[in-house]
């Protein structure tokens, strides 16, 4: 399950302090992969840009279910893992 992003973080224009690449797959890496496919850094940036409080997730896995891109088209994701091992190193993990 993604840690809740505090209200203050989503309202202010927060910039990450640093970034590293994911080395191994995890639930968090899976969700970051989904945000990055849709054109966002992570949940923080998505909530800032789209002005939403909640991201739709699959109840069984906690993975992101649906994201709206900047051009307003939607990405729909499966319940299961979509980020393959060969793609894990492409995922950027931001530190705030």
pLDDT tens track of the chain, all 96 residues? Answer: 445 555 445 455 778 899 999 999 999 999 999 999 999 999 999 999 999 999 999 999 999 999 999 999 999 999 999 999 999 999 999 998
pLDDT of residue 5: 52
Of the candidates 68, 65, 40, the residue with the CA atom closest to the CA atom of residue 52: 68
The pTM of the full predicted model, rounded to 2 decimals, is: 0.85
pLDDT of residue 14: 76
Q: Show me where the domains of the chain are located.
A: 18-95
Separation between Cα atoms, residue 26 and residue 15, nearest integer Å: 23
């Amino acid at each position: 399950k993604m840690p809740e992003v505090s209200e203050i973080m989503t309202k202010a224009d927060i910039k990450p302090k640093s970034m590293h690449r994911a080395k191994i797959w995890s639930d968090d890496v899976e969700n970051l992969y989904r945000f990055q496919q849709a054109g966002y850094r992570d949940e923080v940036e998505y909530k800032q840009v789209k002005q939403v409080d909640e991201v739709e997730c699959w109840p069984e896995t906690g993975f992101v279910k649906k994201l709206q891109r900047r051009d307003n088209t939607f990405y729909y994701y499966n319940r299961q893992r979509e980020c393959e091992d060969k793609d894990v190193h492409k995922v950027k993990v931001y530190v705030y």
